Amino acid sequence: MVTLEMVKANQKVIDFMDMGNTFLGNIGAIEHDLHHAELTSRLASEILLQLGHPARMAELAAIAGYLHDIGNLVNRYGHGMSGALIAFMVLTEMEMDTEEIAIIMGAIGNHEEHAKGCAVNHVAAALTLADKSDVNRSRVRKQDFAVFTPRDRVNYAVTDSKVIVQPEEHIITMQLQIDTEVCSVMEYFEIFLTKMMMCQHAAEYLGCEFKLVMNDTRLL
């Protein structure tokens, strides 16, 4: 059985993820480093565990979360598709079960809002919620506010983010704290509307209501 720790120790995974993040740095994109991979991996697993899914399914979510941005090695846009194919190659070499590879590929290939990704399985739903919740100023590489893109600005505005799962109430809440001197709550919502709608659909796939709370105000 292929485990998360085995994947993390795979030299191709280590090299591809490091180079992909470096390539993104060369175009000024926000960090997609090991911290983001580790956080997404842990949150995706925790979401499924808290909702009562089997431990192995949660580990598949952890593996998908860890690998989800490996396609940045090829290109920022469409990295979900290329990442799914890279994951296929690596996990096949590691002799992972075919059905498990398919679940992970589907999750990675559907986590991009630009590619109109959607929750095709429970792992994909958990990955979407975990990935989109990692919004924080620490991920912005640029130092000059004058050259920030809208994506840089909304990430920089977030000082704290978390996902709260209430399994008995069937509610998943994304809770954000926004520095409104950098970006207004409504501006954040407008720029990241597609991401939040993906999260809403992902929560619904998991049988839960989705709530988006910013600065103690519910927007969804």
Quick check: 48 and 126 in contact, CB under 8 A? yes
Arithmetic mean of pLDDT, 107-130: 92
Give me the chain's average pLDDT, please: 94
The closest of 119, 116, 136, 113 to 183, measured between CA atoms, is 136
Question: 132 forms bridges with which residues in the sheet?
Answer: none
- 217: amino acid identity, one letter: T
Chain centre to alpha carbon of residue 85? 17
Arithmetic mean of pLDDT, 176-189: 91
Predicted confidence (pLDDT) at residue 114 exceeds the cutoff of 80: no
For residue 87, the domain's CATH number is 1.10.3210
How many other β-carbons are positioned within 10 Å of the β-carbon of residue 99? 9
146: exposed, middle or buried (C-beta count within 10 Å: 0-12, 13-18, 19+)?
A: exposed
- The counts of H helices and E strands in the chain are 10, 4
Predicted confidence (pLDDT) at residue 31 exceeds the cutoff of 80: no
The radius of gyration of the chain from alpha carbons, rounded to an integer in Å, stands at 17
Quick check: 129 and 43 in contact, CB under 8 A? yes
Predicted confidence (pLDDT) at residue 115 exceeds the cutoff of 70: no
Structural domains of the chain, count: 1
Token pair for residue 43?
Answer: 């949150």
pTM beyond 0.85, yes or no: yes
Residues 6+ apart with CB under 8 A from 209: 170, 171, 172, 203
pLDDT in tens, 52-80: 999 999 999 999 999 999 999 999 889 99
Structural domain including 187 reads 4-218
Determine what percent of the chain is predicted with pLDDT higher than 70.
100
In 68-176, alpha helices (H)? 79-93, 98-108, 122-133, 150-157
